[in-house]
Amino acid sequence: MTAVFRSCPFPAGSGILIDMDAITKNLTPAQADAVTHVDGPLLIIAGPGSGKTRVVTHRIAYMLNQGVRPWQIAALTFTNKAADEMRMRVNLLAPDQPVWMGTFHRFCAQQLRRYASFVGLSENYSIYDMADSRSAMKRAIQAAGVSTSHATPEQISSAISKAKNRLITPESMQQQSGRASDTVAARVYPVYQEQLLLANAVDFDDLLYHFARLLRENPEVRGELDAKLKYIMVDEYQDTNLAQYAIVRAMSVDHPNLAVTGDPDQSIYGWRGADLNNILDFEKDYPNVKTVRLEQNYRSTPNILAVADQLIRHNRRRKSKELFTDNPDGDNVILRQYQDGYEEADAIADEIAAQMIAGNAEPRDFAIFCRMNALTRSLEHALRNRGLPYQIVNGVEFYQRKEVKDLLAYLHLINNPSHDVALQRVINTPTRSIGATTVGRLQKFADDQRIPMLEAARRADEIDTLSKRSKTMVRSFVSLYERLRKKATESLEDLVRYLVEETKYIAFLERTSVEKEDSNPIENVDEFLSAAVEFDRMHPEDGSLEAFLEQVALVSDTDKFEDSNNRVTLMTLHAAKGLEFPRVFVIAVEDDLLPHYRSKQDDQQLEEERRLLFVGITRAKQWLQLSYAKRRSMRGDIRVAIPSMFLSELPRADMNVIESFADRDFFDDSGDDSYPDSWDLVQEPAPEEEGEMEYKADAAAEPEESAKQPKPSPSAVDRLPSTVSDSVSVIPDVYMDPPTSKSKPKQRVVPIAAALTTASEMMSSDRVPLGAYREGCTVRHPEYGEGTITELTGRGPKRTAKIRFSDGEPEQTFRLAFAKLELVDASGA
């Protein structure tokens, strides 16, 4: 779809010379309708893949062409990625126009810098990230003296967050009586706010909350901004919460040229305070609104779209939409059952490898979506085993790593001496003999005096409870701080270099950090330094420490998603919003996961879960598979899984439904079977409509499926992209073997590999039951050599063996599924 957009040439010229033809041609009537609407409220209901971004960007170009000044336009998004995309595409149509484009949070952060004093902050205020606010919250809970026995800090946090999103003040929250956690939260809330203010800091919610209150309480500021930003656009309007709603509304009173785009069917952030009513009631809020519906889909095949459409029709709270497409027919959507999560992971990895080797796909074409991050683990394993390059969008992010957070905390403290969270982080990092007791005493003094902790540290001599030694240590920390502070105005690079040097941070890392395979702390420090250099380069004039910190605070994990590198993408369904992929797997479409068990009680939440699946489905361009497993192991133990109720809502007649026929006794190596044989009798929700409701193998689908098995292609590995060759070079030979067709259809492609001797290989091939390992067996471990199994416990992937390698030595314990154990003598006892 992007290819279509790019082909719009326009003359380079002075001022705002924009090729009108490029802006309006090749638009559908509906799109043109939206693009050419300049004044007055505008509601764009945009289905998935309907060219929404195209409309928004073209509309901005059109307005500029019509004489709207660029600084009168602000386009608000939810993610930096969306903003970047928009900026890039507007720039193609109308280069170098200072139209404000960015996230809500960034917008508010910038406005708050200017009006900081209105809400009791200074303009160098800090933005707490999640970890920061969590630790601030703990302190507030302590200070408020409430017990956490009835409400965890997380619950309190979330209650306060919700309150802020709904613009509820600490005072008004106390008057409301609600659940126990709310009552507790109401007591913590004012303390937490007070401490934030004292630290000259805000959390994420505060950015919106403070700014919304600022607008409400200061009519002159409101009027000023309303007049300046005459044209406001909001993307993903269905995800706005009350605070955002209030902000946007307040700036669109005198000049109600508010244009919002969104899709009620893609609202998946209700739990974060997003209020679907904002978009559902937009037409009530602005009676003379122009509404445009973009219903034609340019992304997906009709097959995929039909599945999405059928599903979402089951929602009640929506604006009905006709999704249609002119795209040619594609493959049927696959609904697939697996024995368990491991088989699911292996089979998907096999399928990806097979499709790649078939020669018509590369890693970047694939995405695997799941409800929870925890579910990506087995996928990771399977992909890694096959040498398939992948990326997890929500992995450990750079700015969350310890080293980086440490250095950042120093910078925060330099920028804002009241940043208590930062101080607590760095005061003993690297360790300088200022332990918890000392910090606790400093904190108490600070709390009593209502001063920042750094100030308390400066006045350490007045704190009687501190030992002489502690006082000395604290004093030396303060003098270190003063030295650092003097460098605050130098370039970021110099500051960071000096900081690392002066704190002897590298030496600290060297003696404390343990080497891990996938992260090198010292490299991270270098990387952080590079980020600083880069920032200096990008901001030669306005580059301040403060700006850098703000930038860092407002980037998120999802923004880090790179489509430039050629990898299979693993992400949550939430993170997938706004993206598209040629081939998509949605895994674990099971009851209690999707819908999540905590969302099943409430109809509105249940509908949100359905929308979540809808979002996942509509990301797919050509090919889609939904899957569920019979069993799933979660947090250690294995549970029977039930297919999601949503699956019964799909048009299965038009899909390929494939059941798993893998051997049932795969895990049944100890004789007793705790898994029900009556799986197929698990009841579906009672049918409400016509159509078959039970799961059954689609007999017609199977031959077709085996016909689709890839042909061997000796040169396939050569065709793998070079950028990933390092990790791909070890594609196992099994992929070079054609899968055999069997009389009894088996879902798994069983590789014809040579000898399978280690248990983990057996595990992944499911050829030999783990039962081959018995007590008394002799096995060989690559490191420990030969030994005897003395005890076997657990089942399936948790099957564990105790092995004695030599008499007198303690036994070692291994998971059969993972240890590289070779069976030397199976005769055993």
Which residues in the 352-381 window bind DNA by CB under 7 A? 371-374
Active site residue 780: no
Burial of residue 313, with CB atoms counted within 10 A of its CB: 0-12 exposed, 13-18 middle, 19 or more buried? middle
User: Pick from 12, 436, 707, 829: which binds DNA (CB under 7 A)?
Assistant: 436
Which residues in the 705-764 window bind DNA by CB under 7 A? none
Q: What end-to-end distance do the CA atoms of the chain give, in Å?
A: 65
Binding string, residues 199-238; x marks residues near DNA by CB under 7 A = -----xx---------------------------------
Angle between helices 402-415 and 545-553 (to 10 degrees): 140
CB of 153 to DNA, least distance (A): 8
Catalytic residue among 619, 630, 652, 746: 619
d(CA 84, CA 191): 37
Which residues in the 267-306 window bind DNA by CB under 7 A? 271-272
d(CA 82, CA 779): 55
Q: Who contacts 225 (Cβ-Cβ below 8 Å, separation ≥6)?
A: 111, 215, 250, 251
User: Pick from 142, 174, 385, 394: which binds DNA (CB under 7 A)?
Assistant: 394
Q: Is 267 annotated as a binding residue?
A: no
**Site stretch for DNA (CB under 7 A), options 225-233, 424-432, 683-691, 760-768:** 424-432
Q: Sort strands 568-572 and 778-781 into parallel, antiparallel or unpaired.
A: unpaired
Residue with Cβ nearer DNA (304 or 573): 573
For residue 716, list its beta bridge partners: none
Cα four-point dihedral sign 741, 743, 746, 750: negative
Active site residue 240: no
Q: Who contacts 505 (Cβ-Cβ below 8 Å, separation ≥6)?
A: 403, 406, 407, 430, 499, 525
Q: Is 558 annotated as a binding residue?
A: no
Which residues in the 556-595 window bind DNA by CB under 7 A? 556-559, 572, 574-575
For residue 570, list its beta bridge partners: 368, 392
Q: Is 52 annotated as a binding residue?
A: yes
Q: Is 321 annotated as a binding residue?
A: no
Q: Is 678 annotated as a binding residue?
A: no
For residue 587, list its beta bridge partners: none
What 3-state DSSP class applies to 23?
A: helix
Cα four-point dihedral sign 159, 161, 167, 168: positive
Q: How does 174-210 read in b/e, with b if 16+ C-beta sit within 10 Å?
A: eeeeeeebbbbbbbbbbbbbbbbbbbbbbbbbbbbbb
Catalytic residue among 72, 111, 266, 355: 266
Residue with Cβ nearer DNA (599 or 788): 599
d(CA 385, CA 733): 12
User: Pick from 25, 66, 114, 154: which binds DNA (CB under 7 A)?
Assistant: 154
Which residues in the 615-644 window bind DNA by CB under 7 A? 635-636
Which residues in the 791-820 window bind DNA by CB under 7 A? 815, 818
434 near DNA (CB under 7 A): yes
Token representation of residue 54: 């195209």
Q: Is 48 annotated as a binding residue?
A: yes
How big is the site for DNA, counted in residues (CB under 7 A)? 44
503 near DNA (CB under 7 A): no
Residue with Cβ nearer DNA (219 or 435): 435
Binding string, residues 90-119; x marks residues near DNA by CB under 7 A = -------------xxx--------------
Active site residue 619: yes
Q: Who contacts 106 (Cβ-Cβ below 8 Å, separation ≥6)?
A: 80, 83, 550, 554
**Site stretch for DNA (CB under 7 A), options 291-299, 426-434, 641-649, 784-792:** 426-434
Residue with Cβ nearer DNA (564 or 601): 601
Question: Pick from 95, 77, 131: which is nearest to 17 by CA?
Answer: 95
Residue 102: DSSP 8-state: E
Token representation of residue 820: 């590289």
CB of 430 to DNA, least distance (A): 9
User: Pick from 31, 50, 53, 79: which binds DNA (CB under 7 A)?
Assistant: 79
476 near DNA (CB under 7 A): no
d(CA 786, CA 799): 19
d(CA 515, CA 526): 16
433 near DNA (CB under 7 A): yes
**Site stretch for DNA (CB under 7 A), options 32-40, 43-51, 429-437, 761-769:** 429-437
Token representation of residue 407: 């250095």
Residue with Cβ nearer DNA (130 or 227): 130
Active site residue 236: yes
- CA separation, residue 107 to residues 74, 102, 229, 235 (Å): 9, 7, 12, 14
Active site residue 235: yes
Active site residue 485: no
d(CA 824, CA 784): 14
147 near DNA (CB under 7 A): no
Q: Which residues are catalytic?
A: 52-53, 235-236, 266, 619
- List the binding residues: 46-53
The residues that touch DNA, with contacts defined as CB under 7 A, are: 78-79, 103-105, 130, 152, 154, 204-205, 271-272, 371-374, 394, 428, 431-438, 467, 470, 512, 554, 556-559, 572, 574-575, 596, 598-599, 635-636, 815, 818
- List the binding residues for ATP: 46-53
